[in-house]
Structure 1
Amino acid sequence: MNVTAVERQDFFGMPAWRVSSPSGATALVAERGATVLSWQPRPGDEVIDGYVSGEELDGHIGNRSLIMAPWCGRVAGGAYSFGGRSHRLPGGAELSGLGGRVTGLDFARVGTGDPLVLKGSLQGDDGYPWDLEITVIVALEAGSDEQENLSVTIDVRNDSDAPAPVTLGWHPYVRMPGLAGISNLSLAIPARMKILTDSRIIPLPGDAAFAGVKAPVRHDYIGSLRMDQAYTHLVPDEDGVVVTELRDPARGSRVLLTQEPSEAPVVHVFTGDGLPRAERQSIALEPCSALSDAFNRADAKARLALEPGRTRSLTATLSYIA
């Protein structure tokens, strides 16, 4: 087979799509939430720590591979103001809004061939009264030196007749093939600022949220380190992109997260502490277009509004190098 194949597949009674590349790499993506369930850059080498049952996917337990739209992260108190009007999200709590409203949305495939394109329509409600069309594109590509890439693009179009507040993100849990847990891994984040938060993981007000750090932020041995930390003022490499590196020092294998700083000026890292299953077996590397609680931050207002008919995009690429 010399072309990428996309085939319908069942995931515990829920519709999904299997993407298979000529190199042997595969990905499995559920229509529910356009959720990446698996990515094996080589047969048997799993990088995505995804859902393992239909119950987990249906309940989005742990927010694994969550498409975060139309907001990323938390919304303080579950309430915000935009365009001179106040809104309250259903449930009215920070965690009710973690990652937006895509978790329960059933997408449908559009077109044929490669890449996999899934499209869904998000209808406005009292908490978020704007209609959006959300497209998620999943592609596999082989690079040089046996590098394999999984790219996820999120496109959100405002189908309302008024500007809508929109921020985007992706929440994949990444594991290193052949290694149990994250303790023996190293991590490098090319950032000059970390985000300071309160006990709810809501960024502190104004400039108090930003603390300078030496770039890159390096953890040569994650060990028992607990992280639920966002970084910004990201430093591009010579290609103009931001690359966060997770590495197995003993074997030399690497997983890279690449993001465009203009689309995603924030990366959040979470070591999986407290997950109801597979705690600290993987690490969430999350590219985001804004800080958590951006809907309530004056310093984010200029980047929030998406005009009617316009589209906002975020592309993130995971790369595995054995």
Structure 2
Amino acid sequence: MTAEYRIAENRLGGEPTLVVSAPDDSARAVLALRGATLLSWQVRHGPAGRLKELTDGYRDEEELLSQDGVRAGLMAPFTNRIADGRYRYDGHDHDLLPGRLGARTIYHGFARETPFELAHATTTADSARLLLRTTSIRPGRYPGYPFALDLEAEFTVTARELSIEIRATNVGDATAPCAVGWHPYFTLSRPIDDLVLHIPAHTLIRTDPSLIPLPGADATLPLDHCPEVDFRAPKRVGGAVVDACYADLTPGPGGRIETVLADPATGEELRVWQYGGYMHVFTGDTLARDRRASIALEPVETMTNAFNRPEHTAALALEPGRRREFSFGVTHAAPAT
């Protein structure tokens, strides 16, 4: 009998997790059910054949519950920030932070803290597929979001790739604004300065000091005018400080867009791929621990503050009974030996 991938239940402190292992132990992934959060992704690498960690996820239960840095968080029903925690949709004003005075920062949606359950799993000799589901987003559950969504996150793990498809279904009776994304941190060596980054984008989204995109056409700037954060040609990250959204991404064969992080010392590459959307990049300069030890390469459907931007209204609208998917993932490429 051919050995298959294995899926085992475990815990991170008190938090339930799922551990996925290849038959020959050449790949391993750990998922927390809270937020369907990737905690670890390792692949076999090097002459000794040891597993190498490629992500910088939460290390313990305290970090997972704190959500500091939103390490590998699934973002839904909005990505990144909403200005002042308020938005207007379909003629109605909504406040995501009712009664909050002073700082009114809200970001990355509710899914990252929502309990998911394992709805289905399939294993073969070449892969494991896990379908995680939550029905927690309902009217009255989250202030300022009176809509009903079912969310599914399907993870597929192979020897060299981890892929995710997020599906959002409107199970309510009103059209809902919805956008999704992923907030993973990747590392090939520490710090990130000597890594080489390639982003196939043509436009940078300009923001104010609160990282909210400027209004209207002022939000977009050709990368020709931003040499310090222009990675259209692969170049060393160096001391660049980046917390920005890249737009007008160039797709490759089959419509697949690839942002590439490479380690010139080993020849390894991480190819973060997506179908459509934007790429948000964060060099980790303000993390509570291990600043610039990893880099966030975030596939997102829309830009920051999309709930308040008329040009995103059509892209956000999820009608009752309809479902929308967003697919992305990461591939590890090792040098030929």
> Which range, TM-score by smaller chain?
over 0.9
Q: Distance in 1 between matches of 2:312 and 2:155?
A: 28
Letter in 2 for 1:8: E
Q: Distance in 1 between matches of 2:258 and 2:285?
A: 24
Letter in 1 for 2:113: G
State the Cα distance separating 1:180 from its structure 2 match.
1.8
* Structure 1 match to 2:155: 138
CA change 1:161–1:136 in 2 (3 A) is same
CA contact (8 A) 2:207 2:214 kept: yes
| 2:14 equivalent to 1:13 | yes
CA contact (8 A) 1:74 1:94 kept: no
- Secondary structure of the 2:296 match is strand
* Structure 2 match to 1:81: 88
Letter in 2 for 1:108: E
State the Cα distance separating 1:112 from its structure 2 match.
3.3
- Secondary structure of the 1:226 match is coil
Out of 273-282 and 41-50, give the one that drifted further.
Answer: 41-50
| 2:58 equivalent to 1:44 | no
CA change 1:303–1:170 in 2 (3 A) is same
* Structure 2 match to 1:145: none
State the Cα distance separating 1:250 from its structure 2 match.
1.8
**Which of 299, 305, 318 is equivalent to 2:311?**
299
**Which of 28, 34, 37 is equivalent to 1:35?**
37
- Secondary structure of the 2:115 match is coil
Q: Distance in 1 between matches of 2:34 and 2:250?
A: 34
* Structure 1 match to 2:196: 186
* Structure 2 match to 1:237: 252
State the Cα distance separating 1:220 from its structure 2 match.
1.6
Structure 1 gaps, min length 5:
143-147
State the Cα distance separating 1:303 from its structure 2 match.
0.7
Structure 2 gaps, min length 5:
45-49, 123-127, 225-229
* Structure 1 match to 2:125: none
| 2:84 equivalent to 1:69 | no
Structure of larger gyration radius: 2
* Identity within the alignment, %: 37
CA change 1:227–1:94 in 2 (3 A) is farther
Letter in 1 for 2:149: L
- Secondary structure of the 1:112 match is strand
| 2:116 equivalent to 1:107 | yes
1:214-242 CA deviation, whole Å, 9 max, x = no partner?
A: 58623522121100011111101133211
* Structure 2 match to 1:253: 268
Out of 29-38 and 206-215, give the one that drifted further.
Answer: 206-215
CA contact (8 A) 1:18 1:26 kept: yes
Q: Distance in 2 between matches of 1:232 and 1:185?
A: 22
- TM-score, length-normalised on structure 1? 0.93
- Secondary structure of the 2:192 match is coil
The equivalences for 1:93-172 within 5 A come to 96-113=105-122, 114-121=128-135, 122-125=137-140, 126-142=143-159, 148-172=160-184
Number of residues of Structure 1 aligned to a counterpart in Structure 2: 312
State the Cα distance separating 1:61 from its structure 2 match.
1.3
CA contact (8 A) 1:186 1:246 kept: yes
Letter in 2 for 1:293: N
CA contact (8 A) 2:35 2:74 kept: yes
Q: Distance in 1 between matches of 2:202 and 2:308?
A: 23
Q: Distance in 2 between matches of 1:293 and 1:321?
A: 34
The alignment yields a C-alpha RMSD, in angstroms, of 1.7
